[in-house]
Amino acid sequence: MKKYIPVICLLFLFLNCEDKKNTPDTDNTSVEDTLQVIEKNQLEPSKETLKDTLDPLVPLTNATLEAFLTEYGKENPERFVTLETTEGTIKLELYNNTPLHRAHFIYLIKNGYLNTTVFHRVVTNFIIQGGNSDRMETARMRGKMGKYTLPAEIIHRNHRGALAAAKEYRKNPDDRSSPFEFYIVQSPNGAYHLDKNYTVFGKVLSGMEVVDAIAKLQTDEGDWPLHNVNIKATLE
């Protein structure tokens, strides 16, 4: 039996070499294909390397928000907003001379808050009000941003098409604004009785017919439309 051992070893080595030799080449990728793959990977990073493009939620208080919004306004100078709704598109211009309100509205757009909300209060021949909803996501984001109000910046009048901040009536002698809710004046005659108490920080550039359509929707006893008027806010 021992004399056959060298023969068996040689046969094993021969077969092993043959296996390697006959193994088909499964990598037929050319140099050109490889370069195309590299170029594609450079243009299209993997999901693992993609960063969240939304601005982070910052917990604010009345003591910290002015410094935050002043700096945020410098870094985010946008002034033109598009609100896509289930009734049509509304385009807005934000005023530079109400800087805290402008900066905060941009902040709500860039962190995605407004896209969780609806026009939740509509009153024909008066206003349509947005910036709230009954969704858990809206409440969750409000909780993360904190409990605070914006200092009044009362300069502009409540003409038809004015964009203004809502506010709390109770215990609010300084007319500080709600940070989350806003209204658009729909009345053809304006809402001038609000002038001394509410901050107007922008105006409708186009889409007043959409504002009128929203104002005419059927509502419940609390002026909430019977079907949701969703908001998708973007910057130009």
Q: Give the CATH number of the domain where residue 97 resides.
A: 2.40.100.10
pTM, 2 dp: 0.78
Which pLDDT score is estimated for 43? 34
Which pLDDT score is estimated for 44? 35
Which pLDDT score is estimated for 170? 87
**54: in domain:** no
* DSSP assigned state of 151: P
Cβ neighbors of 139 (< 8 A, separation 6 or more) are none
Among all chains, which residue has been given the structure tokens 């419940």? Answer: 220
Number of domains the chain contains: 1
**192: in domain:** yes
Among all chains, which residue has been given the structure tokens 């056959």? Answer: 4
Which pLDDT score is estimated for 67? 98
**162: in domain:** yes
**55: in domain:** no
Spatial contact of 182 and 233, defined as CB atoms under 8 Å apart: no
Domain extent, residue 192, equals 65-235
Which pLDDT score is estimated for 23? 36
**84: in domain:** yes
- Low-confidence stretches of the chain (pLDDT < 70) are 1-53
Which pLDDT score is estimated for 53? 61
**31: in domain:** no
**pLDDT tens track for 130-175:** 999 999 999 999 999 999 999 999 999 999 999 999 998 888 999 9
Cβ neighbors of 14 (< 8 A, separation 6 or more) are none
What does the alpha-carbon distance between residue 90 and residue 88 come to, in Å, rounded to a whole number? Answer: 7
